[in-house]
Chain A
């Protein structure tokens, strides 16, 4: 069996705000409640194989970005382990940890704030490889020019400042900066969400091209299901800090095996369904400080049974190559499959 590029095992991440002296006094006197703990990630297991494109979907605030940062090594997990090519990241030696850190790069959402406004493009891109000794100073100019060309920018613009570029161009600079340290895994954290739709397609194509040329692995975090469907080989759906479903893209979009995924897919606006009224998922997304008991989704779930409020469903295999964290996954899956059949018939007519 080959070793996975990244294997996050039972990773939890909790954020607790530490109270200062005055607050502690207030809590002690009963004038204030102790600050709650946010469970951003709750025993998340995620495996990424070399060369694949994994789409990570979910509502805002469900822990997608936190998972990305834990995998990138920017945040230490509260519990659980992250393995990089079979080795526990927390136990790596300094040099290996640095190599792993460089091998995982993030492409950020907002191209306005992700580039240092006081640096020229050549310094933004060239700083890290120079700092780590990947290139020599004499080569820097050519190296930066090659990278700019690779992401579709004019190498002559290397001496400009970020504000002289458009949003899409800045995002390309951000990608070039990440590529400069020869990463193996790119974590695209809503990387195209802040761009115009026409630019989104260009950047998506750039990602796909780079993946082919450089043999990259992508973790594509997005709330936009159509984008995920377009780019991913496999999709991971998160809800309130937990992974609720994992499946190959086609399988998941054809017949979801979790009520949440199903509800999400029903809401994707498509042209052939424009007459239909949208029925949003009922209720608000619950607070991650006080999540519901049992299955986090049960208060909003159409299929919820008494068991769902009591027992936390495990993420378990429900069919070949698919995992679902729902007590009723098999029923949902067969219901989805039938419904999908009806839908295909309807569109055929």
Chain B
């Protein structure tokens, strides 16, 4: 009974935060996520060098190992790349791009998938069949393959990468929301709302949606991580973001070309950062799943 009360009562966000705080692993991962996000937002302030500003870059400083000193006294903590850019600064900016693309794609996919999932669950019948068969189709193809095809067709560009990521991810949200919404729609409060003559959109978004939030938060978190990873994969393959907006994946790809020459720092450090980022988000997401919706399996 007390467990039921907690589920019914507290706000979803409050429950999520408390759940993260209760687990040492999750709080640690959450702290890392927070630090990385703050670092990405404040990159222009904390980066020692603006990697886009060619006047700041000295070509004679290229390929320097970590802890080298530049001629004007700047220390390249993580070394420089083949152009002479400070790796640490480049990674901060790359993190910024990766996070922006991942979060934008995740949020857009969430909005589209949620709307379609709710409609499928509430209207049922033909709509449900149509939407869910399309979802099955989407989930049947490997994510990267579909994204690759879209990018090959539409060409490169930041928004096109986001479009490709949204296109391959909305189906996860639609499926999860539909499942929860079906359970919720069968409850009496939805029938009561219909009996009170409320409009369909009001029932969908005012009554059903708030009760479908827990799985959405969980999947949203995990899908942001997978969007970041997918974007890195696409960039690594050379068809992701344009070279003017280097993301972590692109940095890894650039460094990879000289990795066998022993210049390990150019790809290893961005790779580590990507790993830590995706790993931390996933741990937070897993913890959210435990707290908010134990029966969810994705």
Binding site for B on A (CB under 8 A): 18, 20, 72, 74, 98, 101-102, 104-106, 108-110, 113-119, 127-128, 131-132, 161-164, 174, 177-178, 181
Contacts and interface: CB of A to CB of B under 8 A. Distances in A.
B196 A115 contact: no
Nearest to A108: B188
Contact of B202 (A115, A118, A131): A131
Interface string B239-276: 00000000000000000000000000000000000000
Given A20-B129, A163-B8, A105 B195 contact: yes
Interface in B185-202: 187-189, 191-199, 202
Given A102-B197, A117-B9, A108 B191 contact: yes
Residue picked from B192, B198, B211, most chain A C-beta under 10 Å = B192
B207 interface: yes
Contacts of A114: 187-189, 192
Contacts of B198: 127-128, 131
Given A101-B197, A131-B202, A132-B197, A117 B8 contact: yes
Given A74-B195, A105-B196, A128-B196, 14 more contacts: A106-B192, A106-B195, A114-B187, A116-B211, A118-B210, A127-B198, A131-B196, A131-B198, A131-B202, A132-B197, A161-B8, A163-B5, A178-B195, A181-B197
Nearest to A106: B195
11 contacts: A18-B125, A74-B191, A101-B195, A108-B188, A108-B191, A113-B189, A114-B187, A114-B188, A116-B207, A164-B9, A178-B195
Contacts of B195: 72, 74, 101, 104-106, 178
- Residue of B9, B188, B202, B206 with most chain A CB atoms under a 10 A cut-off: B188
Contacts of A118: 210-211
Contacts of A20: 129
Contacts of A128: 196-198
A98 B211 contact: no
Given A117-B8, A161-B9, A162-B8, A98 B191 contact: no
Interface string B1-14: 00011001100000
Contacts of A110: 188
A161 B211 CA distance: 14
Contacts of B188: 108-110, 113-114
B196 A102 contact: yes
A161 B8 CA distance: 9
Q: What are the nearest 3 A-B pairs in CB distance? A: A114-B188, A128-B196, A163-B8
Contacts of B207: 116, 119
B262 to A, nearest CB: 58
Nearest to B12: A118
A178 B191 CA distance: 12
A108 B9 CA distance: 21
Contacts of A117: 8-9, 211
Contacts of B4: 163
B9 A163 contact: yes
Contacts of A177: 192, 196
Contacts of A162: 8
A164 B6 CA distance: 10
Given A128-B196, A132-B197, A177-B196, A115 B189 contact: yes
Interface in B73-130: 125, 129
Contacts of A116: 189, 193, 207, 210-211
Contact of B191 (A101, A104, A106): A106
A113 B197 contact: no
B192 A174 contact: yes
A258 B194 CA distance: 37
Contacts of A115: 189, 192
Given A101-B197, A127-B196, A163-B8, A113 B187 contact: yes
Contacts of A101: 195, 197
Nearest to B190: A116
A261 B211 CA distance: 43
A181 B198 CA distance: 12
Which residue of B4, B189, B191 has the most chain A CB atoms within 10 A of its CB atom?
B189
A20 B129 CA distance: 9
A336 to B, nearest CB: 38
Interface in B1-58: 4-5, 8-9
A33 B188 CA distance: 32
A104 B194 CA distance: 12
Contact of A98 (B5, B9, B189, B197): B197
Contacts of A109: 188
Contact of B196 (A119, A163, A164, A181): A181
A174 B187 CA distance: 14
Most chain B CB atoms below 10 A, which of A108, A116, A174: A116
A164 B5 CA distance: 8
Contacts of A178: 195
Contacts of A163: 4-5, 8-9
B114 to A, nearest CB: 16
